[in-house]
Amino acid sequence: MVRWHRSGFALYWRVISRARRVIGRKRISKEVRNLIFQMVAENPIWGAPWIHGELLMLGFDISERTISRWMKRAPRDPEPAKRWLTFLRNHREAIAAMDFFTVPTITFGVLYCFFVNSHDRRRILHFNVTEHPTSLWIAQQLREAFPFGLAPRFLILDRDAKYGLETPAVVRSLRITPVRTSFESPWQNGVAERWVSSCRRALLDHIIAVNGRHLKRLLSEYVCYYHEDRTHQEGAPSSILEHASFAQVQRSRPKTQSRLTRRMCPAVLAAGFKFPIC
């Protein structure tokens, strides 16, 4: 049933996309793309206007906006990536991350799931579901995620247009330093992306969301399972709320399937899926 719904969802939006009139310019050739990548690599200080002028002198009539879009896809030097990983490791206890992911509904609509998680124990600090995410709605979610001065030092977020200008301002008002990831670089927010992947494999791939209220209830049950019962391999193999030594975990009562199923949502149980014990 879930597979049929996913296929119908893809077919529905494919038909709508094809029905729309194709607008815009033709795709540029591979030769021109490689030339743009070469100019970006050999001239790091050049921007889109400069490269646009150089290409005009070479006889290539391409818009500046197209050049700017392809500049974001140019291969990058691996050294900045190493510095980013070093920053994440050295400030793990003071970093939180925020992100969105989408879930299709039974009526072929789209729900947006917002969440904030910490880097030290990868705990979900806050989440919510909405059909129409706005910058003001996101700002309110951040105030609920960090109450009473419990804000981290850094907050990692991508360059999604939904954040607008209000979200960075609210982040700074909470005395948090916003750290933006690079364009089209989801790996720089890997802790958040990994939780989305785990949530999809364990829950979202096995259910069909009816509406926002239904999805929020299912996510609430999964977050409880994620915090209290799911084994995490960061440090000692224990759950997030059972941050103890490995010997203490061994002496504790083992996780039984009945204990896990108490945290599982009814839709997943009806589908015959079982969470892994370890």
- The predicted-structure confidence for 117-162, as pLDDT tens digits, reads as follows 998 888 999 999 999 999 999 999 999 999 877 788 999 999 999 9
- Per-residue pLDDT tens over the stretch 53-90: 999 998 888 888 888 888 888 887 666 667 777 777 77
* Residue 172, CB-side half-sphere exposure with 13 Å CA sphere: 7
Quick one: 158 exposed, middle or buried, by C-beta within 10 A (0-12, 13-18, 19+)? Answer: buried
Examine the pLDDT at 187 and tell me if it is beyond 90.
no
- Per-residue pLDDT tens over the stretch 195-245: 999 999 999 999 999 999 999 999 999 999 998 888 765 544 455 555 434
Q: What percent of the chain has pLDDT over 70?
A: 78
According to the model, what pLDDT value does residue 79 have? 67
pLDDT grade for 246, boundaries at 50, 70 and 90 = very low
- What domains, with CATH codes, occur in the chain? 2-75 (no CATH), 85-270 (3.30.420.10)
What residues contact residue 151 under an 8 Å CB cut-off, 6+ apart? Answer: 174, 175, 176
pLDDT grade for 275, boundaries at 50, 70 and 90 = very low
pTM, rounded to two decimals: 0.63
> In angstroms, rounded to a whole number, what is the distance separating the alpha carbons of residues 231 and 251?
15
